[in-house]
A = this chain, B = another copy of it.
Amino acid sequence: MKVLLLGVDGELGWPLALKLAKAGHEVIGVDNLSTRRMAYESGTDSVFPLPSPAERVMEAKRHLDVDINFIIGDITQPGLLKDLIRKFRPDAIVHFAEQRSAPYSMKDEEHAVFTIQNNLIGTMRLVYAVKEVDPTIHIVKMGTMGEYGTPNFDIPEDIEVEAEINGKRDRILVPRKGGSWYHWSKVFDTDVLYYANQLWGLTVTDIMQGPVYGTRTSEIVHESMRTRFDIDEAWGTVVNRFCAEAVIGHPLTVYGKGGQTRGFISLEDSVTAVKLLIEHPPDQGKYRVVNQFAEVYSVRQIAEMVREAAEKVGLGKVEVHHLENPRVEKEEHHYNPTRRILPSLGFRPTRTLRDEVPYMLEDLLPYKERIERFREGIPPKTTWR
């Protein structure tokens, strides 16, 4: 298949590009490289130094014998997406080209406005480009389980759900409640894609994913092919941050009580699942919502697992600190999302968090000095209030 991958330079974008290309798909990637730039604002950088886009392409050719087309461009600019679709005629468009950090979106007014504008306008440009050039293209959008907040109902794999309100029954959009401007921008994305599906019959897969962790995929066969790995308050997700903290003897930074419960998935399983969804599109004109995660843990449990693993590989005693929670979120809550679609396509997670953490520690150890340099960027400085 021919896949236009928006956000090819990102943490998930690059490993997905490698996996798709290695499987024989044609990959045309687009990125404005904004995460590279934005990550510098925390005084940090990816733990694994990133090759330039041209080097990434060359290393992929050298180690995997694949050709990835890497185009530098900003999809919020008028005309860009339409031109690319006309030129390459993709079967599917994967939309990862969003500002993806909740804390970044909460820093101040300009970061909030940038997040809303960048994410929402990118998605608007996407639906119009597909509608106008080829409405049969399958749009695969990365959303987040965080769009729902922490509701008391079981999160379905559907865009609409039957509800009873004041004694009357109706089909409503599955209720969402963002926990940051970033999360709200993703809620708005979903609304835009839903409406484009209703109006014009666009075919959409909307992936609700939990936090991703890990350093390896089957295609990352050489250091030069690694994807970005962030550990700071804005860009580091919880498992990655804990592992880096353990490597430098920094206490593991649990926000609040740590009862926050999420569905986690490894990097390898995440990109494998996306590949599967691309290869198995829904029926034309259908809006498919997929809950994508492998294991459910609380932040407390993860800290405990990382602590144990770190002590086992000889990193010495690791402390767990409970910081005042900078976010406004429930620290104990119901969590039970449905999972049917990926299993029905044959997807089986191949990694567990417990097994993967030791490999992560092993991969991070050679970069201990670099992580030390980023130490100041780890503790949360952005508060939601």
Contacts and interface: CB of A to CB of B under 8 A. Distances in A.
A116 interface: yes
Nearest to A176: B173
A96 to B, nearest CB: 20
A242 B62 CA distance: 70
Given A109-B125, A120-B116, A121-B116, A168 B152 contact: yes
Given A113-B125, A125-B109, A195 B170 contact: no
Interface residues on A, range: 35 or more
Given A112-B124, A124-B112, A170 B151 contact: yes
Contact of A165 (B112, B175, B178): B175
Contacts of A256: none
Contacts of A172: 151, 163, 175, 177
- Oligomer copy total: 2
Contacts of A113: 78, 121, 124-125
A283 interface: no
Interface stretch (A12-20, A186-194, A274-282): A186-194
B184 A163 contact: no
A150 to B, nearest CB: 10
A325 B18 CA distance: 48
Interface string A114-151: 00110011001100100010000000000000000001
A166 interface: yes
Contacts of A181: 195
- Top 4 nearest A-B pairs (CB, nearest first) are A172-B175, A152-B170, A109-B128, A153-B165
